[in-house]
Amino acid sequence: MATDHVSVTIEKQGLQSLIDILAKRGYRVVGPTLRDQAIVYDDIARVDELPAGWTDEQDGGTYRLQRRDDGALFGYTVGPHSWKRFLHPPIQQLWKAARSADAATVEATPAEPERFALFGVRACELHAIAIQDKVFLHGPYVDSHYKARRDNAFIVAVNCGKAGGTCFCVSMNTGPRVSNGYDLALTELVEGGKHRFVVEAGSDKGRDVLAGLPKQPASSGDLDAAKKVTEKTAASMGRSMKADDVRELLARNLEHKRWDEVAERCLSCANCTMVCPTCFCVSVEEASDLAGVESSRSRRWDSCFTMDYSYVHGGSVRSTTRARYRQWMTHKLSTWWDQFGTSGCVGCGRCITWCPVGIDITEEVAAIRSSEPQ
Amino acid sequence: MALTAETPRIVADPMVPRVGRIRKRVRELSDVWTLTVEMDEPFAFAPGQFNMLTAFGVGEAAISISGDPARPGEGLIHTIRDVGPVSHALSHLEPGDYIGVRGPYGAGWPVEVAEHCDVVILAGGLGLAPLRPLIYEVLSGRKKYGKVALLFGARTPTDLLFRPELEQWRRRLDVDIHVTVDTSTEDWYGNVGVVTTLVPRAAFDPQHTIAYVCGPEIMMRFGAAALRDKGVPDEAMYLSMERNMKCGIGLCGHCQIGTVFVCRDGPVFRNDKLRPLMSVKEL
C-alpha cells in the first residue's frame, strides 16, 4: 500500500471541498466539533465547525479545553467520544415482533443504510476500529448492523500533531502516525503563516475522492515536515506502558494485592468502558405494548462494571469492585489476546482522563509489575 | 425479512429468533416445566447445546436442550426452572403459544471420546436436564461403551427431576444408577447425602472413564474433586457452565470467564481447561 501512495497538499479551503464531495456522494460527515466544553464527534458541514484554535489538556480525571494561537484545526487529541458511537451505536433495535392468536411474525430491523464519513480519525482510533472489526466481523457470527455501517464508511484519518497528557499509543504500537485502514490521511502543517494539509490516499475510494480536490503535489519538504510532525508527537507521549509482556504479567497476577488497592479507589461507575473505543459489550432490552401484541428487542451498551452484567440466578459472579476492575483491565490487556488475537487497548488514554478518580491503567500495570510476588 | 410460523426462512441476522409454537407443557417439579416446541423445520442439535429462547414481550434466556437428538420428530424440548421474569414467562407458555428460538449454540458433550471407556454421568438438580440428551445417546449406543453409571442428587425427594424416566432407566441391567437427596422425607428409603457421596459407590475404571458433570457450580467443583480422588484425570472430565448470556454468539461479552466465552467456547469444557479458571474467585 505504501508504495503507491499519492501525496498531495491541500489548503484549508480544500478541506471544505473534501467535506462537500463526501456529502455530495451521500456520506453523512461526522467529525470533531465543540460542545459543552469538550471536543465531541458530531455532524459537520463546514470547516469552520471544526475546533479551530482549540487544544485540550488531559490528565487523570482531568479534561480542559484551552486556546492555542495558531488556528490549527486538529491541535488536540481524543475527547470523550469515539467512533464506536457511529459504527456500534449505544442503542440499536434488533427486531420487532407481532403476535395474534394464529400467527407470530418477527421482522429484523434492517441494517442501517446510513453511510458515514468519519472525519478526523486518529491512529489509535483506526486500531480501535480494526479491533472491533475482529470482534464483530471476523468471528463465527457476524454483526449485521456493524457490518453495514462499517462497509459503507469512508475514513479520513488525521496524524496527531500533539500528544495528550494521557496518551500512550507509542507503547501500544498504534500511533501517532496512521499506517493503514484509512481512505485518506491528513497531516496538518501550520508554519510560517501557512496552513496546509499533506494528504495521502490509502484506498481506491480515497484516491477517487482525492482526484476531485483542488491540490498541489507534495514536495519532499512537505513530506519531511509531515513526518516530523508525528515524530515530535511520538517523542512527547503523556504516558507509557511496558506492553510487550503485559498479557502474561496480568495472567499470572490475578490474585495480586494491587487489585484490592485499586478497588478502594474505583467507583465502579463504568465511565472507562463507555469512553473506551474497543469496549463492545451490550445488553438486550425488550419493549412491549400494553396488550402484549407487539414487542421489540434492542441492544444497548453495557459495562462489566455493573452488578447485572454477571448476574446469574442467585447473585452476581463478580460481586466485588476488585473482581470487576480486574475483569476490565485483564480483558483489555491480557485475555483479549486469547479471545481475538490482539490487545484490547490502543493507548488512547480515554479511560484515564474520564475516570472520575483518575485511575490510570498504565500506573496500575506498573504497580503490579514492580511488586510482583516472586 | 419477515418470518412467520408458516414461512420459515434462514435469517442473516443471528440475533433474530425463529418462531416456534408450544406443542406440549409438562410440569416436572413444583417450579420446573418441560416445553415441547414445534418448529417448522427439523432442528438438529448435539447433546449439551443450548438455545436462546424468547418469551415475546418479556425477554430472552439461555436454556439447554433436554430432548433426544436422535428423535427430532418429538419436537424441540427444553426443561425450565421458574426463577426470574423470563424463565417465569417461558415456563408458563401454553400449548399454541408462540416462542422465539435462536440456536443451537455452543459446544456440547463430546460423546465419541467415551467409546470403549466407562461412562460416569454426575448430575445435581436441574443439571440432569442438559445431560439427558447425552444419556439418550449413550443408552441408544450402549454397546459402544464400557460400564455406564448415572449418579444423580437432588435437594429433596420431591426435587428429583425426570423421576419416571429414572425408574425406567433403572430397570435396564446395563446402567448403574444411584440417586440421593440432600434432605430426606419420611417416605424416602433411598440414599441421603450430597451427590458426591455416590462417586465411591459407582463401579468404573478411573483410568478408562469419561465423566460428564452438570449441576450447581459448587456441586460440580466437589463432584470433580471426588472423581479426581478416585483417579479420574481432569482431561477425562467434562463440565457444563452457566453464565449470564445476552447473545449466545460471543458478541455481548457477558459470559466471559477469563480467557473464554461460555457461549462460544463452552458451555461444556474439559476440566483441565476449566479448572485453572474456576480456581480464581470471581473471575
Over the stretch B65-80, which tens digit does the pLDDT of each residue have? 999 999 999 999 999 9
- Specify whether B87 is located in the same domain as B118: no
Check pLDDT > 50 for residue A3: no
Interface test with B, best of A95, A252, A326 (most B CBs within 10 A): A95
- Specify whether B51 is located in the same domain as B165: no
Q: Looking at beta carbons, which residues of chain A come within 8 Å of B59? A: 284-286
Q: Looking at beta carbons, which residues of chain B come within 8 Å of A145? A: 13
The reported pLDDT for the residue numbered A195 is 94
**Cell representation of residue B66:** 433436554
Q: Which of the four pLDDT bands, split at 50, 70 and 90, describes residue B8?
A: very low
The alpha carbon of residue B42 and the mean position of all alpha carbons in its chain are separated, in whole angstroms, by 20
Average pLDDT, chain A: 95
Q: Which of the four pLDDT bands, split at 50, 70 and 90, describes residue B85?
A: very high
| Chosen domain end from B105, B123, B141 | B105
| Chosen domain end from B51, B84, B105 | B105
What ipTM was assigned to the predicted interfaces of this complex? 0.93
Check pLDDT > 90 for residue A90: yes
**Mean pLDDT (whole number) for A309-323:** 95
Q: Name which of A313-322, B5-14, B124-133, B175-184 the model is least confident about.
A: B5-14
Average pLDDT, chain B: 94
Check pLDDT > 50 for residue B276: yes
- Specify whether B170 is located in the same domain as B91: no
- Specify whether B97 is located in the same domain as B120: no
**Mean pLDDT (whole number) for B251-272:** 98
Interface test with B, best of A312, A318, A328 (most B CBs within 10 A): A312
- Specify whether B82 is located in the same domain as B146: no
**Mean pLDDT (whole number) for B174-198:** 96
Of B244, B256, B260, the CB nearest to A311: B244
State the residue range of the domain holding B270: 112-278
| Chosen domain end from B66, B85, B105 | B105
Check pLDDT > 60 for residue B228: yes
**Cell representation of residue A159:** 496524524
Kindly state whether residue B217 falls inside one of the protein's structural domains: yes
Kindly state whether residue B58 falls inside one of the protein's structural domains: yes
Share above pLDDT 90 across residues of chain B, in percent, rounded to a whole number: 94
**Mean pLDDT (whole number) for B147-157:** 98
CATH of the domain at B186: 3.40.50.80
Chains A, B: CB contacts under 8 A, how many? 140
CB atoms A281 and B100 under 8 Å: no
- Specify whether B93 is located in the same domain as B162: no
Residue B86 neighbours by CB under 8 Å, 6+ apart: B55, B58, B59, B60, B61
Over the stretch A16-71, which tens digit does the pLDDT of each residue have? 999 999 999 999 999 999 999 999 999 999 999 999 999 999 999 999 999 999 99
Question: SS3 for A370?
Answer: helix
Work out whether the CA dihedral A76, A78, A84, A89 comes out positive or negative: negative
CA A102 vs CA A105, A296, B21: distances in Å? 10, 19, 10
d(CA B27, CA B92): 10
Check pLDDT > 80 for residue B5: no
Q: Which of the four pLDDT bands, split at 50, 70 and 90, describes residue A233?
A: very high
Kindly state whether residue B6 falls inside one of the protein's structural domains: no
**Mean pLDDT (whole number) for B39-64:** 96
Over the stretch B99-118, which tens digit does the pLDDT of each residue have? 999 999 999 999 999 999 99
**Among A56, A55, A53, A45, residue whose Cα is nearest residue A15:** A45
Q: What is the reported pTM?
A: 0.94
